[in-house]
Chain A
């Protein structure tokens, strides 16, 4: 009989990796003090404390507004964008496609900076507007602006789901309706829309869920007025009371996960039925574009305005800001032009280290995480065992955990476990947190590429005399090579961008660009923050370019 022992052991370890953090949060939420403190006693008062704090309700309200605003704005726009890109003859689709992915992988911290230096008070665009038309009508720190920004930057998330679904809708369905006399728009609404409805619904749940995870954008754009969302409310407790109030943070985490976990479960459920729905349509067919006529220029203009708002506007601001020493209404550009901000990147050891660390963590750490995911993926590959089905469900937990929370818990675990304690402020702790945060996503990528390997190719190796390890080494891994490479590249992009996961783990020596950006912002050091943001964006753009060259699908 084939031994399933190793499979069960790996599943067990993974379960531990997932459940230990969740258990620790739960436990901490019922204590009066930090769990490692001698004064910690069991209590449920922390819950009532948080529930009676008006700040919590404000944060919750803001989060719900943001989340709802994202759904209301991003879902229709993302679906429309997908329709224009996949189904119509809108010009410029070839080069718009990669541009759509940029906001997806760009650091929200960079975006937030960009908005501040572009359209914030005394930003480049605001100054220009003021000189040309008078006082600007917008306030970058206002709530409507925040809603607009987070909604527009999440359009690509919707786009990915809907575009994928649209590609499987056979275009002859549309053509039949058109021949029968339907105008293009009527056909889109009556024929195409109902077919991709499940995918639109899935993306709506996803976006609502992402709304509860938001950290960077509300932190930079909302904090000045003291407008908090749940994640920034949580972050406040780190410093608010003089020393970190872990028990309060744990309670807030529990409340966040009480919302995100059901959303994640709902999404998984809907995704399954949506997939069942879409396979009826069968393979992707060659689709004939719906002619938009003169409207195609209107559509293109709309897409360009959106791209301008989410890519060009913030990026131009950051880029410009990185080349000047200061900026304001009365400053002439040639007086302040400088390369100093880039020299500082190399000169300041802290900053230099953060760049090296980021590259190390993204490249080597990304690969190490991939190896972990691959091992777990192999353990559940074609396994009928109950333990692997449990795992399938357990990975929903880290999925429901915002990055900042995962970083916090990994920090706690490193504090708590004696032999891990020396590593608490090291890159290792950072890597563990990143690996936990991206476990569900990475595991899905890896399992998908293993699933592509024909079952009989594996069985042929078994009957020829290969054991499980040999089959993995000789058949599964080589044949899944391309998928694994793609997963590594995606891990690189995500790790290079990541900023919130490392916030609590940052100490001497393990700075990464993302967390560095947060602390530079906290310290008001906009000069260096801008140049670092440019470097971060360049690294990510390089990764995207490489991915596109290698034919890696970024919408995995």
Chain B
């Protein structure tokens, strides 16, 4: 049985329905990423799981124990759910030292002093904060604050850890390190973790499962490979990866593939859902899979080069045909003004 089960959560702010039936589950030792654009309800969903917001319908259970059930009017308050929560702002208590911040959960549980010292010391050691016990939060760097916030939520051994954009306040370099560290830590400590993020790269890198949220409903749930390689909705295909979006008319369909005519630019790709000839459709093409082709190759379009920029490692070109423009990366400079551009059908989805 999964450590955390969230079923069919509905939540309103006033008259606005913010969550419209979100469900997901996380196993022990696994990380689920709640991914979605800003305003899609990720934070709200996480807070609902923690008991900080109240849903009007749905169920939540932690370690096999029901903590929320809208139909039975069961709603354990946050303090009785025994979860760990890392706030986006870290929410460290400014009047307590690092040690006291981390020890708070244990002291609330009436753990003996010696045991508190041992446990907190151990957690802080694991997080590389061993030398900072007596500091106040304001005396720490952003990265250190983030780790104190994680330490605080780990100290009392919650089975489920909820993290709201824990990396978003770190600068880019620190974020890469912290991401790897976090993944390793959660796997080693065998918690079930939910990480909220709006950054798909982060979600792809850190998560065992991605729950993609769109306007309060789950657009798709699955492994990072699933979402990247087998999107089942237009939203998923478009949200994950760096894409070009083309609208047109279906001119051929069959065998799991369809061809779209977009004002003279023809693309073939996998059908994300069944389409028939004559209807309108949208093609999502992964930008990084576009390339220069040799004449006569399959899935190519003859296009005209308008701009070239040297980016250091690579060259970036803008190719045009009709109203469409595509950005194409190459390893070396290109001389020809017109070239066939490859849009490989394995990296195109038609909806």
Contacts and interface: CB of A to CB of B under 8 A. Distances in A.
A16 interface: no
A410 to B, nearest CB: 38
Contacts of B76: 1
Interface in B58-111: 73-79, 81-85, 87, 89, 91-95, 104-105, 108-109
B95 A463 contact: no
A1 B52 contact: no
A456 interface: yes
B93 A465 contact: no
Nearest to A478: B95
Interface string B9-51: 0000000000000000000000000000000000000000011
B87 A460 contact: yes
Size bracket, chain B contacts: 20 to 34
Contacts, number: 69
Interface stretch (A183-191, A297-305, A363-371, A466-474): A466-474
Given A461-B104, A464-B108, A465-B108, A479 B95 contact: yes
B155 to A, nearest CB: 9
Interface in A458-502: 459-467, 470, 474-475, 478-479
A2 interface: yes
Contacts of A462: 51-52, 77-79
Contacts of B75: 1-2
A478 B75 CA distance: 29
B89 A465 contact: no
B93 A457 contact: yes
A474 B81 contact: no
B168 to A, nearest CB: 14
A475 B93 contact: yes
B91 A456 contact: yes
Contacts of A475: 93
B115 to A, nearest CB: 16
A454 interface: yes
Nearest to A464: B105
B81 A463 contact: yes
Given A478-B95, A479-B94, A479-B95, A463 B85 contact: yes
A492 B108 CA distance: 36
B198 interface: no
B119 to A, nearest CB: 14
Name the residue among B82, B87, B91 with the largest chain A CB count within 10 angstroms: B91
A1 B50 contact: no
Contacts of A456: 87, 89, 91
B156 A464 contact: yes
A467 B87 contact: no
B152 interface: yes
Contacts of B82: 465
Nearest to A474: B104
B136 to A, nearest CB: 13
Nearest to A2: B77
7 contacts: A1-B77, A454-B91, A459-B52, A460-B92, A462-B51, A466-B108, A479-B94
Given A463-B153, A466-B79, A479-B93, 12 more contacts: A1-B75, A457-B91, A459-B87, A460-B92, A460-B93, A463-B52, A464-B79, A464-B108, A464-B152, A464-B156, A466-B108, A474-B104
